[in-house]
Structure 1
Amino acid sequence: MASNESHGINVTQVCADILCEFLEVAFHLILYIRELYPPGIFERRKKYNVPVQMSCHPEVNQYITNVLQSVKPLIVKDELHRVVLAVLNSSHQPVERFVFEIAPVIARSLSNDNYLLRLEQSLRAFLLKLNVCDAVLEEIPSDCSFIILVYTKESSVLEIEQTQFIQNFPWIEADKSNYTMNDVKMVPLKAVSSDLIKMQLYAEESKQKIS
């Protein structure tokens, strides 16, 4: 059986680190582009040679960090199906969802540097697409908030609940009202298929988001 370790490097761990770093930047960028918070709490940075906006709000940043630290072991075990950033209206009903569908890692070696180079180029394309996604999405209502949803195996949920390695950050099963939208319009945004990561991103928006 082929090993996913090469020269002491765990390929799935490297991919998990890269993916979580990308998701962190993507989440911050979505919050900025969709104007969930005032622009003053963001600062301009560069990632994958693309200008991005990152939040400076401690509570927002800690929430995103805690989520990603918790899901990283799921990526390593190929047990993460998708991660969703859901935009909720003032009644806590979802009006928009950014869905990151993630497939298991295929590569078993990092011997080819082109893997990482092509992956960086792909992630750069994701960020460029997110930068202009507001042009293809309807406006969201005022006073919106967000929640991050993680889709995994039921057995994985039980394991997370038992280990709970991040104190004061309990995982709970999402209420159906937090992730169910009726009369949904799907907007494909970007996909990448490489030996290291297979991922597609699309947005779902409620056609009644303005009503």
Structure 2
Amino acid sequence: MSSSSTPIESTSKIQVAADIVAEFLEVAFHCILHNRDLYPAGVFERRKKYNVPVHMCLHPDVIQYIAQILESIKLLLDTREVDRVSLVILDHQQNPVERFVFEIGYPSKYTDFSSDILFTELEQSLRAFLLKLNVCDAMLKPLPNDATWVIHIHTNDCAMLRLEEKQILKNFPWIEAEEKQKTMHSPTLVPMKTVSSDIVKMQLFVEESAMKCDPSTS
């Protein structure tokens, strides 16, 4: 007699992987906010993650917003129902001018997480992601002075309904993204980094809008 349920051992490994991805995304979000000058440098504190210097925003509203976002992402990672997470930078008309896209894949089979080699190799890979983010401003054109940002999660309808039910109770409801915020004008793709391991599969790239590159179109 077969069962469609996930074995407890596999579930715990999925949760470990979800924790790793969520922790990395938290640092990555803060790095993007700092390196793309979305907030004044004075509201960031210099720290280290994976032995890489990073900057974390100290503004309470930003900290709370990112924490609530990560709580939601973690719920979907635990059930392997998130395909990509995007930090979208918008101009004053709410048009996307930059999109940092984290594509997330899931290993078909999780190996033994007790091996320290696995985590050492993964840490090196995530370290490379942060090093790329620290120099991303040299690869991208400047943002408009009045830029804002938002997080988009790509998932399925059933997962979205469950997420909405849980988050409404915490006064942090998710809504479907406006079509205007999803549609980018003639984007240029800037590859950043890819990691494929027995724990996490992830790819980071940036989409840069032609509207930002040509002021006459904004």
**Do both proteins adopt the same fold according to a TM-score greater than 0.5, normalized to the shorter chain?**
yes
2:199 counterpart (175, 196, 200): 196
Code of the residue aligned with 2:89 in structure 1: it is V
Where does residue 49 of structure 2 map in the other structure? 47
Aligned equivalent of 2:187, options 178, 184, 187? 184
Equivalent position amino acid for 2:17 in 1: C
Deviations 1:52-77 (A, max 9, x none): 00000010111111011011021111
TM-superposed CA distance for 1:159, in Å, is 1.1
Q: Which amino acid aligns with 2:134?
A: N
2:181 alignment partner AA: N
The alpha carbon displacement at 1:23 in A equals: 0.3
| Structure 2 residue 100 is the aligned partner of structure 1 residue 98 | yes
Partner Cα distance (1:32, 1:203) in 2:
16
2: distance between equivalents of 1:83 and 1:201?
10
Q: Report the CA distance shift for 1:197/1:165 in structure 2 as closer, same or farther (over 3 A).
A: farther
Give the deviation of 1:108 after TM superposition. 4.2
Instruction: Report the counterpart of residue 59 of structure 1 in structure 2.
Output: 61
Instruction: Report SS of the residue matched to 1:209.
Output: helix
1:20 aligns with 22
Number of the residue aligned with 1:144 = 147
**Alignment of 1:174 onto 2:177:** yes
Q: CA deviation at 1:162?
A: 2.3
The match for 2:162 is 159
After superposition, give the CA deviation of every residue in 1:122-161 in whole Å (9 maximum; x if it has no partner).
Answer: 0000000100111111111111110000001111001112
Taking structure 2 as the reference length, the TM-score comes to: 0.91
Match of 1:5 in 2: 9
Aligned residues between the structures = 209
TM-score (structure 1 length as normaliser): 0.94
Q: Secondary structure at the match of 2:69?
A: helix
CA shift at 1:107, angstroms?
1.3
Distance 1:122 1:165, change over 3 A: farther
Code of the residue aligned with 1:138 in structure 2: it is K
Secondary structure of 1:5 counterpart: helix
Q: Which consecutive unaligned segments of at least 5 residues does structure 1 have? A: none
Structure richer in helix, relative to its length = 2
Deviation at 1:206?
A: 0.4
SS at match of 2:212: coil
> Percent identity of the aligned residues?
52
Matched to 1:113, the amino acid is: D
Distance 1:51 1:184, change over 3 A: same
Paired letter, 1:143: D
Name the SS for the 2:142 alignment partner: coil
CA positional deviation for 1:193:
0.4
Deviations 1:178-203 (A, max 9, x none): 12102110000000000000000000
**SS of residue paired to 2:211:** coil
Unaligned segments of structure 2, at least 5 residues: none
